[in-house]
Structure 1
Amino acid sequence: MKNLFRSVALVAVVFLGVQHVNAQQKIGHVNADEIFQLTPEFKTANDQLRTLNETKTKELQGMYEEFQKKQSDANEKYRSRSEANKETIDAELQVLGQELQNIEQRIQEVQRVAQEDLQKKQQELLTPIQTKVLNAINSVAKEKGYAYVLDTSAGNVIYFQGGEDISMDVRSKLGISADAQPVTPAVPAAGQPQQ
Structure 2
Amino acid sequence: MRNLFKGAIAFVAVIFATQLAQAQQKIGHVNLAEVIQATPEFKTAEGQLKTLSDGKTKELQDMYAMYQTKQKEANDKARNRSEANKETVDVELQKLGTELRDIETRINENQRVAQEELNKKEEELISPIHRKVSDALTAVSKEKGFAYVFDISSTNIPYFQGGDDLTPALKTKLGISATAAPATPAKK
TM-score grouping bracket, smaller chain normalisation: over 0.9
Deviations 1:45-97 (A, max 9, x none): 00000000000000000000000110010000000000111110000000000
Q: What percent of counterpart residues are identical?
A: 57
Structure 1 contact 49–187 (Cα < 8 Å) conserved:
no
Letter of the structure 2 residue corresponding to residue 75 of structure 1: N
Taking the aligned partners of 1:41 and 1:113, their CA distance within structure 2 comes to 25
Deviations 1:87-138 (A, max 9, x none): 1000000000000000000001000100000000000000000001111111
TM-score, structure 2 length as denominator?
A: 0.96
Q: CA deviation at 1:156?
A: 2.3
Taking the aligned partners of 1:28 and 1:187, their CA distance within structure 2 comes to 31
What stretches of structure 1 of length at least 5 have no aligned partner?
Answer: 189-195
SS in 2 for 1:153: coil
What stretches of structure 2 of length at least 5 have no aligned partner?
Answer: none
User: What value does the CA root-mean-square deviation take over the aligned residues?
Assistant: 1.2
Superposed, 1:20-59 pairs within 5 Å as 20-59=20-59
Letter of the structure 2 residue corresponding to residue 120 of structure 1: K
Q: CA deviation at 1:2?
A: 4.1
Moved runs in structure 1, 4+ residues, more than 6 A? Answer: none
Whether 1:182 aligns to 2:182 is yes
| Residue 193 of structure 1: aligned partner | none
Q: CA deviation at 1:3?
A: 4.9
Deviations 1:144-183 (A, max 9, x none): 1111111100132222111100111111111111221111
Taking the aligned partners of 2:14 and 2:82, their CA distance within structure 1 comes to 98
Letter of the structure 2 residue corresponding to residue 133 of structure 1: V
Letter of the structure 1 residue corresponding to residue 136 of structure 2: A
| Residue 105 of structure 1: aligned partner | 105
Taking the aligned partners of 1:99 and 1:25, their CA distance within structure 2 comes to 69
| Residue 120 of structure 1: aligned partner | 120
Taking the aligned partners of 1:3 and 1:89, their CA distance within structure 2 comes to 109
Superposed, 1:3-152 pairs within 5 Å as 3-152=3-152
Q: CA deviation at 1:22?
A: 1.2
Q: Number of residues paired by the alignment?
A: 188
SS in 2 for 1:140: helix
